[in-house]
Amino acid sequence: MGSSQNSTKRFSNNADSINKKAKGANGEVIKRTKKEPEPEPELSASEDLNSSSSSSAAEESSSEDDLDSSASEDELDHSSDAQDNDDNDKDSLSDDKESVQNSCSEQKKESSKEQHAEQRRLLQERKLQRKSGFEIQHIKSLWERVRVKNPPVPKEIRDKLCDEIWKHSKDVLKDLVLKHDASRVVQTLVKFSSKERRNAIVEELKSHYYELATSSYGKYLLVKLLHYGSKESKELILGELHGKLRKLMRNKEGAYVVEDLFTLYSNAEQKKQMIREFWGSEYAVFQDSGKGQSIIEVCEESADKRNVIARNLFGTIKASVEKGSTGFQILHAAMKEYVQIINADETREFIDLLHEQFAELIHTPEGCEVACTLIAKATAKERRLIVRSMKEHVINLLKNEYGNLVAITLFLTVDDTVSLAKSFGNDVNEQFIGLVIDKYSRRPFLYLLNGLDGRYFSPCVQKDLKRYIELSKETSKKSLELRRTELLEKFSPVFYKNIIENNAVILQENVGCQFISEVLMNTDLKDEEKRSEMVQAIIEVLKNDDGALLEKPFTVRLLRSLIQGGKWDNNEKKLVKLEIPSLGENFSTKFYKEVVGSEKLTQWVENSNTSFIIVALYESFNDKKHKFFKDLKFIKKEIKEASKDEDNKGAQLLLKLCGF
């Protein structure tokens, strides 16, 4: 259960923005990876041991039905060991019913003391009659003494009690571990035991691990053994579950065990092998079948093979999705393989199955790839469904390390830009600042502004995205550029509004400056009126700035490029002037007049950050008769003085330019 809860947590973490929170997302994953599997629910009194089970008993029986019905869909053989599994569950089931009945009758009859006593005696008798009944009662009473927390039991006594428990339990261990109360005894035992005894416990439970994994109580013990156990123990347990993963995935309890096994206790090679089990019996039985081969390579061998594998993968995935395990990482990995071999008909079916749960996919790399691939292959109609289901999660989608790529894929492939922009519009507008300074959520917008620019999209990200573009060509009609500019047009009013109203906040952040610069210098945006409004707004802020903003290197850099009115082309090693009226010399004039002026000029030269801006101004004015040059001459002495400062490279440069 930890798994699904954790994944939703991971998904919905970053409530209040910025880099640190984004790290939090990762942190969450880490925490999960390293967490201690210790889900012991703390019951307060010993009576709880019996009473806590009535509801879970009902739950369990329904999940059993579930397993049976869904298992028959696939070509799973549930002949051999499913049988003895049933036996065990019946055992624990009847166990629970007993206590239910007991408490019911107690309630009904306002019975006398004798009746009570009689009932208790009967219950006790029945308990003792059960398999290993006597030992269980005894062990439980020992356990009651070990588990006391306040005050903690001294170590020597604890060890003694544990020894005692072990002595009584080792021969009946497998009868204990499937029962809700007694299995917790064993968990405690594992926790306080030496390495040797842990190994002995693992050994004792040999050939029962499948049962354990499907037991609502035993699974905790199993996970604990995996965590604390030696390498050999892990291998032993793993070996027993091997070949039964598909069945486990369909089991309510088993699915969690498999997910834990996959995320916490497997390396890359083992993970691959686990997924291979989902390909079909051949691969489930023979561990090495298909080893070292990718799913694509295997499927290329014959169409038959592909069909069987695809059917099996889909069967397992479907069962799990319908059970509500869409967030499981192992499922994402399985889906990732499935979409690699999926054909057109299967794509329709798969999207139909998943479209409402897309949000569950976007917090892992594999899930993200699945989402992107499906979006790329989806028809216009299917994309609309997907976008609609994502609408509730826009902010999480954008801010997520992987989700932002899904958003970009939507931008890359969806033809209906009107409804797409509309679906994102509200949330984007409301939280624009947070989005634009976030490491991940800014990327979709940078894409809209600049396309897949190498500055923001690394080669391998580009490679992935280009693959989705290729896949989308079947179903997308418009050209990539058209989609991008249409979307840009729809989002640009939001850009303008926020830059005009909130640029002081955005300028505080490095990445914010970067974004403003991308908007102002963008040649796809033609609204010059808005551009000059933005420029004016920035000038207003700087006019009233107490110097804090100008201490920031990125603000200085932004100003410099506005003054230069162009972008630096690193290949050509030269400045590429942009034909934008409100930038370049026009900006310089305005900027000098309204922000610097003759009275602040000295101050700007003396500051090692801002002196570079003065240099830029010097190079910007074509009219050498501009007041600026006269002002410079006037402070000749101060410039010379400032250039003596080792750190003030700008002043030194300025001195050279002026040629004083």
- SS3 state at 576: strand
Nearest to 428 by CA among 478, 487, 347: 487
Q: 568 has which bridge partners?
A: 575
Give the nearest distance from C-beta 448 to DNA in angstroms: 18
Give the nearest distance from C-beta 568 to DNA in angstroms: 3
Nearest to 2 by CA among 37, 30, 29: 37
CA 52 – CA 58 distance, rounded (Å):
12
- SS3 state at 567: strand
Q: Which is nearer to DNA, 478 or 649 (CB)?
A: 649
Q: Which is nearer to DNA, 254 or 327 (CB)?
A: 327
Q: Which is nearer to DNA, 239 or 553 (CB)?
A: 553
Q: Which is nearer to DNA, 53 or 441 (CB)?
A: 441
Positions that interact with DNA (CB under 7 A): 19, 23, 26-27, 29-30, 33, 227-228, 267-268, 439, 454-455, 458, 460-461, 510-511, 553-554, 557, 568, 570-571, 573, 649
Nearest to 441 by CA among 418, 417, 408, 414: 408
Nearest to 482 by CA among 523, 442, 446, 448: 448
Query: Exposed/middle/buried for 637, CB within 10 Å: 0-12, 13-18, 19+?
Result: exposed
Give the nearest distance from C-beta 228 to DNA in angstroms: 5
Give the nearest distance from C-beta 471 to DNA in angstroms: 21
Q: 577 has which bridge partners?
A: 566
CA 239 – CA 152 distance, rounded (Å):
37
Q: Which is nearer to DNA, 392 or 619 (CB)?
A: 619
Give the nearest distance from C-beta 527 to DNA in angstroms: 26
Give the nearest distance from C-beta 513 to DNA in angstroms: 9
Give the nearest distance from C-beta 554 to DNA in angstroms: 7
Output DSSP code: residue 154. P
Q: Which is nearer to DNA, 338 or 445 (CB)?
A: 445
Helix (H) or strand (E) holding 298: helix 295-301
Give the nearest distance from C-beta 229 to DNA in angstroms: 8
Task: Yes or no: say if 393 and 359 are a contact pair by the CB < 8 Å rule.
Answer: yes
- SS3 state at 566: strand
Task: Yes or no: say if 409 and 372 are a contact pair by the CB < 8 Å rule.
Answer: yes
Q: Which is nearer to DNA, 98 or 369 (CB)?
A: 369
Q: Which is nearer to DNA, 151 or 459 (CB)?
A: 459
